Amino acid sequence: MQLSVTVRGPRAEAVSYLLAKNPNNLYERGEKGLTVRLVYPTFSSEEVQFIIFVKTDPIDLVKNSPDLFDITHYINDREFAASSIFVTSIRKALGTALNGKPKEEYASWVEHPFDMELSFGPVATDLSNRELEALFAPIGYAVNIEYGESFIREKSSARFITLLGKQTLQNALKQLSILIPVIDNYKHYFIDEREREKFDRYGEGWLENHPQKLLILNRSLRFQKMISQSKFYEKETKKEEGNEPPKIRLNDLRYEAIIKYVEALTKKQTIVDLGAGEGKLSVKLGFIEGVQEILSVEPSNRARLKALDRFDQAKEKRGFVEPQLLAGSLFYYDERLLNKDVMILCEVIEHIDEYRLPRIFETIFKDYRPEVLIVTTPNQEYNEVYDMDEAMRHHDHRFEWTRAEFTGKCETWASSYPYQVHFQGIGEEHPNFGQPTQMAIFSREEGK
């Protein structure tokens, strides 16, 4: 994880005073599981480049973590990416520049705009390139985005972002402190009052009139209580008054399609929600009349804890069948999943390496033998509608299939077992590219 800042023009060396870092000395500090270094590869009166990077010790990061027993450490190869961990790690090293508090004789340079080039990465994101550009272009940057490479895949989902513009060093660092976690959309810390105050402080002077302010607020502060307390919130809500109601989110449309199908089934007493995440679908399944048992299976300990809170809240409502939380994975056989009425894989398979899927579906059809298996996954063709270029919809997707590819795979998997498969789309339909989500429904032949 690294950030490179290059400043060009007369008196470029003033940047070192704003940073309070001597170009002749290596800055190195250790934190839990991390080493932070800052160096100057280039230093002259006309051009200065400094690079700050964070080296991780993955074993140390995990061994004292509350998620020590979270098996996703072993089944997910998510890249070490520029994220909230990176931003938090470098804040101390860049504190003098971030706060605009150099020695008094250099204070006048705090407000000086430099010709600046900023590069950072790798960053993993669910935002499209167009959405990334919309974060930076309104605050004066030209944006260039490149994809990395991975030893697992020819083309990694990680991206490297370069920004060109005229900015004060303080503003540039404040903007990155907020926007890098917005891009990655992952927070390793608890969002509380102090985090909201920090957000308001770093947003001062550039976020007030940003056209993507609502997106930045929501992805930064997450919780409505925190969002509504931000000084940037009131203007945005007034601005939004009178607009058309927002469209239903695609995720909700998926749940609606699955629930509608399950409700119409004769046999739906026992259900398995495989890869249940934070339990959103499992909760909705718990309100279907006739359902008696729901096994909510998820490998991530963190996600299961969130699901548990969601189940506790739903218990207060009449007619709710509380799901049973199970730590498990598609990669490990689990006899508790045998012979259920319905098994669901909602937006799960695309997070698995493609070569593993035949074995997984063999286990489902041969061993688990559900009466009905429901599988949803993105329709890769629809990415054209989102103007996503070649990017996948989520940084952790291993693949995304066209409708023809998905149909072919599903028919191949079902052909060796007594299952019939049919397909339907979910979401707004495009005349050329179909619908954003594709759903396959496998039904076991009667008596087999």
The predicted-structure confidence for 55-98, as pLDDT tens digits, reads as follows 876 555 555 554 544 544 444 434 355 566 778 778 888 999 99
**428-432 average pLDDT score:** 90
Side by side, which strands form the sheet with 47-56?
27-31, 34-43, 47-56, 2-8, 114-123, 159-167, 142-147
Total-model pTM: 0.54
Structure tokens at 257: 């399609």
Q: Enter the DSSP assignment of 299.
A: S
Q: What's the confidence (pLDDT) of residue 307? A: 92
Q: For residue 132, what are its two tokens?
A: 């990334």
Q: Give the helix/strand (H/E) hosting 259.
A: helix 250-263
H/E stretch holding 448: none
pLDDT digit string, tens, across residues 250-270: 889 999 999 999 999 999 999
The pLDDT assigned to 32 comes to: 66
- Express as a percent the part of the chain with pLDDT over 90: 59
pLDDT at 185: 67
Residue 319 backbone zone (phi > 0: left; psi -120 to 50: alpha; other: beta): left
Look at residue 70 in the predicted model and tell me its pLDDT: 52
The pLDDT value recorded for residue 189 is: 55
The order of strands in the sheet holding 293-297 is 324-326, 293-297, 270-274, 342-346, 372-378, 437-444, 419-426
| Residue-wise pLDDT tens digits, 129-183 | 888 999 999 999 999 998 766 544 555 567 899 999 999 999 999 999 999 888 8
Q: What is the pLDDT of residue 76?
A: 43
Q: Which residues contact 332 (CB under 8 A, 6 or more apart)?
A: none
Tell me what pLDDT residue 421 has: 96
Distance from C-alpha of 134 to C-alpha of 26, rounded to nearest angstrom: 36
Of 351, 350, 342, 339, the residue nearest 323 (C-alpha): 342
Average pLDDT, the chain: 86
Portion of the chain with pLDDT greater than 70, in percent: 85
pLDDT of residue 46: 94
Query: Which tens digits make up the pLDDT trace of 188-235?
Result: 556 678 888 889 999 998 999 899 998 898 888 877 777 888 888 864
**What pLDDT is attached to residue 124?**
77
- In the predicted structure, residue 241 carries a pLDDT above the cut 80: no
pLDDT in tens, 394-422: 778 899 999 999 999 999 999 999 999 99
Predicted pLDDT at 151: 45
Q: Give the mean pLDDT of 378-392.
A: 80
pLDDT of 237: 44
Confidence class for position 246, pLDDT limits 50, 70, 90 = low
Q: What is the pLDDT of residue 249?
A: 84
Bigger pLDDT: 247 vs 124: 124
Return the pLDDT at 128. 83
Tens digit of pLDDT for each residue in 8-27? 999 999 999 999 999 999 89
